[in-house]
Amino acid sequence: MPLTVRQLTDIPYLRTWIHAGWTGADGIITWAHSIEGPCPWEWLSEGDLVMTTGLGIPREAEKQVAYVENLARVGVTGVAIAENMEAPPLTPVMLNAAEEHALPLLFTGYEIPFVEISRAVAASSHEQEHSRLVKAVRIYDQVRAAAAGNAKPGELLARVGEELDCQLWICVNDLGTSMFADTAPLPEAVRDAFLREVREHKGPLPGILRTEVDGDALSIVPVPARRPASLLSVPRKSAEPPPFALLQHAATVGALEVERLCASREELHRLGSETFAALVDVRISPDLAVSQLRAHRLSGMQLTVLAASSDAGLQRSRDLHHALAERDIPNLLLRRNDVLFVLLPADEAVIADVLGMLDDAVQIGLSDRFRGLEKVAGATREARWALESAVGSRARVGRYGAETCLFGPRSLAEARAGVDRVLGPLLSYDAAHGTALLASLQSFLRHNRSWQRAADELYVHKQTLVYRIRRVEELTGRKLNSTGDVAELWIALQVLNVLE
C-alpha cells in the first residue's frame, strides 16, 4: 500500500516531521523526487513528494505563496525540506498557504539522506508501479500491432489514447497544428491554450505543463524528436489525467512517428530538388516533369521562384522543407552555390509565410508569376536578378522588373543587352579562338588590378597577363586605367554571373 504523508513521518529512522500543512497529512505519496529547480511543478505529477535542500524555495513571501499554490495545483503531496541547509525562512503567509491548500511542508533531519525516503516510498508503491509498468507495456504492444498492420500515425495515437483513457495529439510547437493529417481535429480552445503556454515559455518546454481548457485538464509533454513538437493530452469524460510517466511513454511513441514522417519528407525533398535542377538546366521536358510535380502538388497552378541569399547565414532554412510541409505549402527547393531557390505558388499570403520562415537579414528576390514548367529556368534567372537588385538597393525583397536598384538593368532583357554591348566582342573572341580573355579580366579586376596576384591565380607569367589585358582593351574599346571604363566592365561581369 502507498504511504500517506502522516505514515511517512511515523517511520522513526527517517526523522521527518510536518511543519505546516497538516490538513494534507493523509495525502498519498506515489513517488519521491529530489529537485532543486525554481519551478518543480513543471516536472512533477499528482502524488509526488518533493525533496529539496531548499535552493529552489524563494525568499520573498509572495513568491513562497506562489510556490505552494503551483505545487498544490499539480497535485504534489508534500515538500520535504532538508533541515539546516539552503532553505530560506518560511514566512507566515507561506505556512498559511500550506494549510489552505493542504500541502504539507515537512522537515527532514540533516543527517538523513533523501535516498532513504525514496526507498521507503518505492517499497510501499510497488503494486501501483507494477500497474504503471503493465500500462507501459501495453502502449508498446500497440506500437508493435500498428507496425504489423501498417497503421497510420493517427490510428496509433488513438489506440494509445484508449489505453490511457484520454485523447492525444502530436502538435507543431510554433503553429499549434497537428503533425499528422489523419488525427482527430484539435479543438480551437485546446490549440489556443497550447500556443499560449509555448509563447510564455519562449524556449524549450519543461517536462510537463498543465492547464485547464473548458474545465478539462490539458497536459503538454515535449516530444523528443528533431522537429519541435509536443504531446497534448485531454482525459475522456470522468477520467483522471494520465500519470506523467505514462505520458512520457506516449511522447516517445509520438517521437517515433515524427521521425518516420521527417524521413519521408527528406526523401520527397531530395526528389524535388533533382526535378527542380533538371528544369533549371533544361534536362527534362515539361511534360515529363508534370507527373513528378503532382507529388509536390505544384502542377496546374500559377507559380513563382524565390531566391534567398545565404550571405546572412540562412540559419532557419536548413529545415525549410519541414516548415513548409507543416504549413501545407507546396514547394520545390534547390541550393546552388550561395543561393537557395524555392518554387512555390504565386500567392502573396504564401510568399509572406515563407519570408517569415527565413532570418530577417536574408535578402529575397522574386520572379514574375508564370504558368508552364518550360518557364522555370527563366523564372529562376529572374529571381536571381531580382535578388541582386535587392542587394544593390539594400532592400529586404526585390521583385523582377521593379525599380529596386538605382543602378543597372531592371530586367533580364536589359541585362543581356548590356552584357552584349560591353562584353560581347570579348565573349565572341574567346568562343572563336579558345582563349581565356574573360577569365583573365575577371581575375585582374577581382585582385584590384594587381598584375602579380592575378597572374599567380591564373598560373601565367605576368607579361602574358599584360598581353591579354591589352587585347581585352582592344576588343572592348575600354581602358583599364579609366575609372569609368573599369566600373562598366565590373558591372557587366557581375550581371553576366547572374545570367549564367
CATH (residue range 412-499): 1.10.10.2840
Task: Give every CB contact of residue 434 below 8 A, 6+ residues apart in sequence.
Answer: none
Q: What is the pLDDT of residue 334?
A: 93
User: What gap in Å lies between CA 5 and CA 76, rounded to an integer?
Assistant: 11
- The domain spans of the chain are 3-124, 127-260, 282-399, 412-499
User: What gap in Å lies between CA 476 and CA 486, rounded to an integer?
Assistant: 11
Backbone angles phi, psi at 218, to 5 degrees: -110, 120
- Strands (E) across 353-402 are located at 364-366, 397-399
Q: What is the pLDDT of residue 1?
A: 65
User: What gap in Å lies between CA 264 and CA 279, rounded to an integer?
Assistant: 23
One fold for 3-124 and 127-260: no
CATH (residue range 127-260): 3.30.450.40
Q: What is the pLDDT of residue 193?
A: 93
Q: What is the pLDDT of residue 406?
A: 41
C-alpha distances in Å from residue 496, one per residue of 157, 282, 368, 375, 418: 55, 19, 20, 20, 9
- Strands (E) across 346-455 are located at 364-366, 397-399
Q: What is the pLDDT of residue 500?
A: 61
CATH (residue range 3-124): 3.40.1390.20
Q: What is the pLDDT tens value at each position of the chain, 500 positions in all? A: 678 999 999 888 899 999 999 999 999 998 899 999 889 998 888 899 999 999 999 999 999 999 999 999 999 999 999 999 999 999 999 999 999 999 999 999 999 999 999 988 887 766 566 566 677 788 888 888 888 888 899 899 999 999 899 999 999 998 999 999 888 889 999 999 999 999 988 778 888 888 888 888 999 999 999 899 999 999 988 778 888 888 999 999 999 999 999 999 999 999 999 999 999 988 888 888 888 888 888 888 899 999 998 654 455 567 888 999 999 999 999 998 778 999 999 998 999 998 888 887 888 999 999 988 888 988 998 898 888 778 767 788 888 876 444 445 555 566 677 778 888 888 888 888 888 898 999 899 888 889 999 889 989 898 998 899 999 888 888 888 888 788 888 878 877 776 66
* Element spanning 75, H or E: none
Q: Are 69 and 94 in contact (CB under 8 A)?
A: no
Length of the chain: 500
User: What gap in Å lies between CA 19 and CA 27, rounded to an integer?
Assistant: 15
Q: What is the pLDDT of residue 414?
A: 65
CATH (residue range 282-399): 3.30.70.260
- Say what the alpha-carbon torsion angle 122, 126, 132, 134 is, to the nearest 10 degrees: 140
